[in-house]
Structure 1
Amino acid sequence: MQAMMSMPFLYRFRDALATLPSVLILAILIFAGIQKAVKIQPHIDDSLVQIALTEPEPPTPPAAAPAPPTPVAPQEAKPQAVAKPAPQPPPRPTPPQTVTATPLSNTPNPEVAAPAPPKAVAAPIAAPPAPPQETPPPAPAAKPSNASIEASYISKLRAHLNSIKRYPTGREASQQRPQGKVKVWFVLNRDGTLVEQGIDESSNSMLLDEAARKTINRATFTAFPESSWAGEATHRFSAELEFIPGAG
């Protein structure tokens, strides 16, 4: 009963069932083609390509056409004058010479001239000796200027005073221990004797000022150089003395 009921149903869809295998095969082919298309991978070339930018070469300038040679006018050859030889006179005939035989004898012939005595050879004249060359005298040494002489004398005076200065002694000096500079002045004769002296700038300490005066009185000064302070019988000098405790 069931077979009978199923037969009409299959019979009614027989055309669709007949095309079912073809549809399945077509679907399988389409699916396989899609899978194959999906599996296709693009081919990528990993090789590096280097692109270089080059400037176009400048066009070569056309070569300048050589200048045509300048035609040179042919120079006309000038005929050279040929010197003609001067006509020579014909040679004169030589007259015949007669040879006379002269007998030999021991008597000297007075006509034969005696040999001339030898000439005296003049002796060469000796050249006079050259005068000795005079050696120029040596140039005198440059004398120092008066300014340099005076500056040297003043520096020696100041060095002498600083070498003989003495720091003040006594109870007051040991208690106060003053320190400072004293600028003194003094006048000297040309022979170096002391005329007078005084203080230009005080150190604000009576002990140091008195020590500076004693230094001037104790000093021995030399005479002035001859070329220094010309026309001055005396000259005024100045010096600066620095007193430091414990320095002497």
Structure 2
Amino acid sequence: MTNTPFLYRFRDQIATLPSLLILAILIVAGIQKAQQIKQAAEDPVVQISLAEPEPTPPAPIPNPITPTPPTPAPQPVSKPISTPTVEQKAVTATPSAEVAAAVPTPVVHAAPVTTTAPPIATPAPAEPPKPNNLSVEANYVAQLRAHLNAIKRYPTGREASQQKPRGKVKVWFVLNRKGVVLEQGIEESSNNILLDDAARKTINRASFSELPESGWAGEASHKFSAELEFIPAG
């Protein structure tokens, strides 16, 4: 037979302890409430009795008042009006004249007014008119195209003499600020190999001047285009 723990054997009794504790608290609270109710019931009752008011004695009768005769109003006494004589008028006017003569008249000294003419502003020298950038650029392009048309050459050879092609070639090329050709190409072909080749040779043979300082500001290079027309001789 195994020994069971002490708490395990009395587990039913221990489980009822909370219920018994709560019941005891309720009983104690009920007893205290009953005592309060009993004490409130035993407090002495205050009885209030109404007392009758004491009679007030009658007021004494005042003695009859004998009327006094009215006092007559005092009559106004007329005083003679005294008119000032001529001597009195002269005496009263003399002090004001003496006071006016005794007060010195202030002398105001006007400060000399000096007028200075305002300085004459000299106009600043007019700056020379700056050249218009658009006109400078347009003049450079016009000179560039005139130079290309002046140095262009009609293609030579047996094939050119037999075909005698005629047409326009539009070329493009890029110049740096020094006027050196960086790139070039055909923008609009003439549909003839001889004329297109002659236009390229014209660009290679040309000598371009430097770009103007006031033109295409901020650009290290600029792209130009020109149209070259080739016409056979005779």
TM range (shorter): 0.3 to 0.5
Q: Give the TM-score of the pair, scaled to structure 1.
A: 0.44
Q: Give the TM-score of the pair, scaled to structure 2.
A: 0.47
